[in-house]
């Protein structure tokens, strides 16, 4: 229906921009990953898989990657556990207050990430709110050290950040379920519990997959929370990358790790897309 001139004018600029500023940089990153750093701190255009092999050989690297994935997995699980019942409550239970409550869930998302991570630091520190409270209530005698500068702190903070992300697609999916299906299920003799497991939950699965993907991928690549709250035991893969581009000065190695992350993320996205397609019925 639209003229060729229109279509070209509309497609070309973004296409060109994206090629220059997205495709090319990723390609460059790919190239960088084969290079290496000389003793003189310059970048040598060699051609080897050394960097990728390093990733496998050097303990710190693959261990950190695994730890990052484990942290991301926990964040995902907790976000889903917190987010699903919340979404269910809003969708089926909240009635007139639904919109207001929805807004309340969204608001924290808009507050600066840095601000919120920093706030957790205040709360979890040995001098912080939580410890002071616990001691005040005589539940503990000394400040709990593991609360801050540990994987625990990272998981807690990231769960706080990403629960709304898990919530949103689940809520959207639940809202999409026609209410007459719930009535039909009851009409046919299913109790509310049976209705949930046989009708509501299966139809909400695409939302769960989307929410889980967001939570996992985003927390996997996070570098702020570990830096602020992780301490030495809470370092994640992105922190290593950041330091390789900073003090540890090894761009090619950093590029190699980044590129691996890129591949990982893309494959997860493809996987989740397939899963969602399997569970969409409309």
Partner 1 sequence: MIPAKDDNSIPSAALLSIRNVAKSFGKNAVLRDISLDVAEGEFLTILGESGSGKTTLLRIIAGFETASAGEVWMGEERLDRQPPYRRRVNTVFQHYALFPHLTVEQNVGYGLRVAKRPATEIAPRVAEALEKVRMSAHAKSKPSKISGGQQQRVALARALVNRPRLLLLDEPLSALDANLRRQMQVELKSLQREVGISFIFVTHDQEEAMVMSDRIALLRSGELEQVATPREIYGRPATAYVAQFIGHTNLLKGEVRAGMLRSGPLTWSAALPDGPVLLSLRPENIRLASGSMAVPRRVRVRGTVLSQDFHGATELIRVECADGLVLVVRTPGSSGALGGVELEFSSTDAVLVRQSPERI
Partner 2 sequence: MDLLVSHTKLVLGSRWLVFHAAAVFAFLYLPIVVLIFYSFNGEGVGGFPPHHLTLDWYRTLFADGPIWDSVLNSLQVAVAAMAISLALGVPAALALERARFPGKALFRRLVLLPLILPGIITGLSLLMLFNVMGTKLSLMTIILGHGTALISVATTEVFAGLQKLDRAQEEASLDLGANYWQTFWRITVPNLKLPIIGAALLIFTLSMDEIAVSFFLIGRDNTLPLEIWGRLRRGITPEINAVSTIIFVFSLVTIVFWYRLRVRGEGRSVAGSEIVATVEGNAL
Residues 148-187 that bind partner 1 (CB under 8 A): 178, 180-181, 183-187
* Near partner 1 by CB under 8 A: residue from 3, 42, 103, 191: 191
Q: Is residue 188 part of the contact set for partner 1 (CB under 8 A)?
A: yes
CB of 105 to partner 2, least distance (A): 7
* Near partner 2 by CB under 8 A: residue from 52, 62, 245, 279: 245
Q: Is residue 66 part of the contact set for partner 2 (CB under 8 A)?
A: no
Listed residue (220, 211, 102) closest to 163, CA to CA: 211
Residue 196 interaction partner, one of partner 1, partner 2, none, beta carbon < 5-8 Å per kind: partner 2
Listed residue (80, 13, 29, 87) closest to 253, CA to CA: 29
CB of 193 to partner 1, least distance (A): 10
Residue 110 interaction partner, one of partner 1, partner 2, none, beta carbon < 5-8 Å per kind: partner 2
Listed residue (150, 161, 151) closest to 126, CA to CA: 150
Listed residue (103, 281, 278, 93) closest to 179, CA to CA: 93
Tokens encoding 56:
């496998």
Tokens encoding 260:
């691996």
Helix (H) or strand (E) holding 236: none
Q: What is the C-alpha separation between 275 and 282, in angstroms, rounded?
A: 15
Residues near partner 1 (CB under 8 A): 178, 180-181, 183-191, 194, 198-199, 202-203, 279, 281-282
């Amino acid at each position: 229906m639209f003229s060729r001139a229109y279509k070209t004018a509309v497609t070309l600029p973004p296409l060109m921009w994206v090629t220059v500023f997205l495709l090319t940089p990723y390609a460059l990153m790919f190239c960088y990953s084969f290079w290496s750093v000389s003793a003189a701190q310059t970048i040598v255009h060699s051609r080897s898989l050394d960097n990728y092999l390093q990733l496998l050989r050097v303990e710190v690297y693959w261990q950190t990657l695994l730890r990052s994935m484990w942290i991301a997995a926990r964040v995902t699980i907790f976000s889903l556990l917190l987010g699903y019942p919340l979404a269910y409550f809003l969708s089926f239970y909240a009635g007139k207050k639904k919109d207001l409550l929805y807004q309340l869930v969204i608001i924290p998302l808009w507050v600066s990430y840095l601000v919120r991570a920093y706030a957790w630091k205040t709360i979890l520190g040995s001098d912080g709110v939580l410890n002071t409270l616990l001691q005040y209530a005589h539940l503990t005698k000394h400040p709990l050290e593991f609360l801050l500068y540990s994987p625990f702190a990272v998981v807690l903070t990231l769960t706080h950040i990403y629960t709304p992300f898990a919530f949103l697609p689940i809520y959207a999916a639940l809202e999409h379920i026609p209410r007459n299906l719930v009535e039909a299920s009851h009409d046919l003799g299913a109790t509310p519990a049976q209705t949930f497991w046989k009708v509501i939950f299966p139809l909400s699965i695409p939302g769960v997959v989307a929410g889980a993907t967001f939570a996992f991928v985003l927390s996997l690549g996070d570098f702020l929370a570990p830096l602020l709250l992780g301490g030495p035991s809470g370092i994640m893969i992105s922190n290593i990358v950041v330091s390789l581009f900073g003090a540890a000065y090894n761009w090619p190695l950093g590029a190699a790790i980044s590129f691996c992350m890129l591949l990982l993320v893309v494959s997860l996205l493809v996987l989740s897309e397939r899963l969602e397609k399997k569970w969409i019925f409309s």
